[in-house]
Structure 1
Amino acid sequence: MNTKLLFTIATGCVLGATQVSAQATDCATTASIAYEHAKVKNYEAAEEPLWKVRKECPTYSLATYQFGEKLLKDKMKKASDAQKSAIAKDIIALEKERFQYFPAKTKIGDLHSDIGQLMFDHKIGTKDAQFAEFHKAYTEDKKNFTGAKKLYTYFSLFVDLHDEGKKELQEVFDLYDDITEKIEEEESKRAQIISEFTEKEESGTALSSKEKRKLKNAGINLAAFSKVKAGINQKLGVRADCSNLIPLYTSQFDAKKEDIKWIKSASRRMYAKECTDDPLFFKLVESQHKLEPSAKTAYYLGILAKKDNKTSVALKYFNQSAEMEEKASDKAKVYFRIGEVLKKQGSKGKARTYYRKALKYKPSLGTAYLRIASMIASSANSCGTDVFSKRAVYWLAENYARRAGKVDPSLKSTASKTAANYKAKAPSKTDIFNNPGVTSVAIGCWIGETVKVPKL
């Protein structure tokens, strides 16, 4: 190879490297300008350099897409209704580009549920296309499909497609069960945070600013999931009433009586909708117990025994069910029912034990706190040694009632009124003043707890 050719190749390599280096420098400079403006929410100044980086250096940094989304959402807030659809399409395009260039840092559940919600909110595409985005997110990455509003929209679209004859009623029931379970899992996570921080506060330990934010966010999210769960039930509506369930399952029974999955679903739904007086329910339970004795069969047999006033037999089945049950929310349901039976019998201490077991497996079960509060309040006269200590029992009842509203937003009004009622029966400020030095009261009998005296 002659010297001139070698020189030409070498020169080309140097120039190429120089151009690459210059482009990299230009990307970094432009990105720096864009990001600095975006960090202080000066999106008008950030827009031109940000979109330049997006076009010319799409793989430069994930921050391009993160700031880009914030910029477009800011535009959306300020836009007229006529402009919002176009901006929504821009956000969708941006999110798809993010996945194209940063797939490892983009969650399928987030991506497609976000796209589906944008399409639904701004009437982009057909109902089938909107549903397809949610369905992809839910079936491929349910863990990261967590938005309360998005879960509702997904189910709502599914029901609408059923009403149009595109989905079977049984499919609607199956998705309802699955989404309800998903929501309860998300609720339990938030309720656990609330329960832990509430107990910390009640013990007299101040929360850090970070803990306060976590507590506040948990409350907001829990309220959102509570509303969505109610909305999903309302959307399902009469489609799941006994008048629809009984003929549907009756027509399917002979063909599916050996299908344990179908038997479980049918018996669970008939119980949930209180269709238990129909002979079909007994047939379903018998078939399930024959095919696969389980926590559910023991639970249903307990229900049937309770209906026949065979309380001891019912409790035996319920305890078997709780021991066998693996799903936390269902285990909580069984323990709560045992608590209800024992409470009715007057066994308050034992009932509380089972209500607490229920709360262990489902921290958002606020009704259990209300039941404990009620039993404590009803024992005021028998669990105190003098007038002050007897009335102090109501402080403890108040504390339990308030917890109910914190872990279950749907009970907030009831819990607040109940707590106020107990507070009114507790020692007054004058009573506290006349008992100086008393900072806490040990409550005896079955309660066995200590309650702090409120500060004047």
Structure 2
Amino acid sequence: MKTKFLFIIASGFILGTTSIRAQVGDCTKDNAIITTASIAYEHAKVKNYEAAEEPLWKVRKECPGYSVATYQYGQKLLDNKLDKATTDAEKTKIANELIVLLKERYANFPSKTKKGDMYSDIGQMMYDYKIGTTESQFAEFDKAYTEDKANFKGAKKLYTYFYLLVELQDAGKKDLQDVFDLYDDITEKIEEEESDKAKTIAELTEKEESGTALSAKEKKKLKNAGININAYSKVKAGINQKIGARADCENLIPLYTGQFEAKKTDVNWLKGAASRMSAKDCTDDPLFIKLVEALNKAEPSAKTTYYLGLLAMKKNQNSKAREYFNKSAQLETKPSDKAKVYYKIAEMLKKQGSYSNARSYYKKALANKPSMGTAYLRIASMIAASANDCGADVFSKRAVYWLAANYANKAGSVDPSLKKTASGTASNYNAKAPSKTDIFNNPGITSVKIGCWIGETVKVPKL
């Protein structure tokens, strides 16, 4: 009996020692922590944050490395509090708590925390709730963008980042060149996001129009793509408005003229200067020619070939210009830049009345940049302009306008900034198309094959 009693005491001592060792050495194996965490997470899963708060913060304090779930649920808890807060002071206090939580998560789980997401979230909260200075707010966004650009997501955050830089430049704390550089970079990122979402819209819309029903998942995907592309479109308009007169020819020309001699062998500077002057149509100034010549000498490329095409156009050497543009498109590696070159060629051909070739190049532009809604509008206008030439009789001639309206509507679906224009254009074309009476008087016609350069079939709509 005595031996048994001693064994129980010894066993108890060993278990106690093991428990203490777990708490001191590895809290993630401590039974009390495991139980507390389980209680906290179960409450948080069902959004019972009031019950989850005490055990959750206990785990966070006593075992910060227990699980990343502590911080994930903690963020949801604080987000919920922030939504319910009614005073500015209360909101600022909770926002500060969130910032601390995010930094703790990164300190304890760096491999499970996306820096681009975290730093940009912190920057946005600091801006929204007036925490810190403009410089400190910008610094968080800048860390996110420079250290983890791929995970810097969200239209609003991109705009705030650019807005803060412009504010610092206005205060004399950043150079105008910094503004231009970030503008170029953010615009490119936005256009990539827009193209990705526009491709989704185009593919799912085409599937739906073909008569195939979309699944619930596809409908949600289509809806979200529309919401996101609309947000990015607004941000792009916002940063264009924010950069405003800073990027006009009257500012660019003296800025680059003054920098030219010192920078004329700097390829990156030449690229940026030539690109910006081209975008703002400052190509008539002699400085543009100097920039193109210097860039072509330093590093012949798709861009220099494109600029040589612009100069050829200025001299009315259209065939030469088209030759340069085609070569530029072949050399381009970025889809959005390739699209711009194809669009330029299409515009030249449209102006010359070569509609079939122009459409081919507009479609090449869309293949590289699905969000280029203006290309759809241009195709629509050419189709509408050919109604009398491409229809076999009165009904088919007027049916051409249905096809034109379809293209116009596509413009609005892939580029929300064109929504109003596209809708108005489509309505105008539909007004010229066959009426309900015309359809009734031509029974049995479900589609119309349109001839000449158009060569497409349009379905008769149910009016």
2:233 aligned to 218, 226, 229, which one?
226
How many Å separate the matches in 2 of 1:218 and 1:438? 35
Hey, what does 1:46 align to over in structure 2?
Answer: 52
Distance 1:343 1:251, change over 3 A: same
1:61 counterpart = 2:67: yes
- Residue 197 of structure 1 aligns with an amino acid whose one-letter code is L
Kindly state the Cα deviation for residue 245 of structure 1 after the two structures are TM-superposed.
1.2
For residue 303 of structure 1, report the CA deviation from its aligned partner. Answer: 1.2
Deviates more, 1:410-419 or 1:282-291: 282-291
Q: Describe how 1:367-446 pairs up with structure 2 within 5 A.
A: 367-446=374-453
* 2:317 alignment counterpart: 310
Higher mean C-alpha displacement, 446-455 vs 369-378: 446-455
Counterpart residue identity of residue 169, structure 1: L
Partner of 1:89: 96
CA offsets 1:355-403 (integer angstroms, 9 cap, x no match): 0000011111000000011111111121122222222211111111111
Aligned length: 453
How many Å apart are 1:8 and its aligned residue? 9.0
- For 1:259 and 1:18, the matched residues in 2 are separated by 65
| SS of residue in 1 equivalent to 2:380 | helix
Structure 2 residues not aligned, in runs of 5+: none
Moved more, 309-318 or 34-43: 34-43
Secondary structure of 2:448's match?
strand
TM-fit CA distance, 1:34: 2.8
2:106 is matched by which residue type in structure 1? F
Residue 18 of structure 1 and its aligned partner are, at CA, apart by: 4.5
1:118 paired residue number = 125
On the 8 A contact 2:19/2:30 being kept in 1, the answer is no
2:41 counterpart (35, 39, 42) = 35
The two structures have a TM-score, normalised by structure 1, of 0.94
**What do residues 31-64 of structure 1 show as CA deviations (whole Å, max 9, x unaligned)?**
3333333333332233223222322333333222
Q: Could you tell me how far 1:342 is from its partner in structure 2?
A: 0.3
8 A Cα contact 2:82 2:91, kept in partner = yes
Matched, 1:78 2:84: yes
SS at match of 1:382: helix
1:186 is aligned to: 193
Kept in 1, the 8 Å contact 2:201–2:413? The answer is yes
1:140-155 matched pairs, under 5 angstroms: 140-155=147-162
User: Quick one: percent identity of the two aligned structures?
Assistant: 71
Structure 2 residue 281 is matched with structure 1 residue 280: no
User: Which shifted more, 44-53 or 442-451?
Assistant: 44-53
Instruction: Report what 1:160 is aligned to.
Output: 167
Equivalent position amino acid for 1:15 in 2: G
Deviates more, 1:191-200 or 1:288-297: 288-297
Structure 1 counterpart of 2:278, which letter?
A: Y
Partner secondary structure for residue 326 of structure 1: coil
What is the CA distance between 1:418 and its match in structure 2?
Answer: 0.6
SS in 1 for 2:388: coil
Listed as ranges, the matches of 1:194-343 within 5 Å are 194-343=201-350
The CA deviation string for residues 192-220 of structure 1, in whole angstroms up to 9 with x for no partner, is 11111111111111111111111111111
Query: Which of 5-14 and 108-117 deviates more?
Result: 5-14
Distance 2:418 2:390 in 1: 27
3-state SS, counterpart of residue 385 of structure 1? coil
One of 133, 143, 147 as aligned partner of 2:140? 133
Q: What SS class does the counterpart of residue 252 from structure 2 fall into?
A: helix
Letter in 1 for 2:461: P
The residue aligned with 2:18 is: 17
Q: What SS class does the counterpart of residue 381 from structure 1 fall into?
A: helix
The residue identity in structure 2 corresponding to 1:48 is E
Gap change, CA 1:31 and 1:437, over 3 Å in 2: farther
Report the alpha carbon displacement of residue 7 of structure 1 after superposing the two structures with TM.
Answer: 10
Partner SS for 1:441: strand
Letter in 1 for 2:281: E
Deviates most, 44-53 or 94-103? 44-53
Q: 1:18 & 1:138 partners in 2: Cα distance?
A: 45
Q: What is residue 361 of structure 1 aligned with on the other side?
A: 368
C-alpha distance in structure 2 between counterparts of 1:425 and 1:35, whole Å = 62
After superposition, the Cα gap between the structure-2 partners of 1:35 and 1:256, relative to the gap in structure 1 and judged at 3 Å, is same
- 1:259-289: CA deviation from partner (whole Å, max 9, x where unpaired): 1211111111111122111111111111112
Mapped to 1, the partners of 2:206 and 2:267 lie a distance apart of 43
TM-score by length of 2: 0.93
* Correspondence for 1:352 among 349, 352, 359: 359
Question: SS at the partner of 2:449?
Answer: strand
CA distance in 2, matches of 1:402, 1:188: 17
Q: CA deviation at 1:429?
A: 2.0
Q: Offset at 1:335?
A: 0.3
Q: Deviations over 1:142-174 (max 9, x none)?
A: 000011111111111112222222222212211
Amino acid at match of 1:58: P
Distance 1:25 1:12 in 2: 17
Cα gap change, 1:14 to 1:451, in 2 (>3 Å)? same
Deviations 1:282-329 (A, max 9, x none): 111111122222111111111111122211111111111111111111
For 1:65 and 1:274, the matched residues in 2 are separated by 50
State how far apart, in whole Å, the 1-side matches of 2:113 and 2:97 are.
17
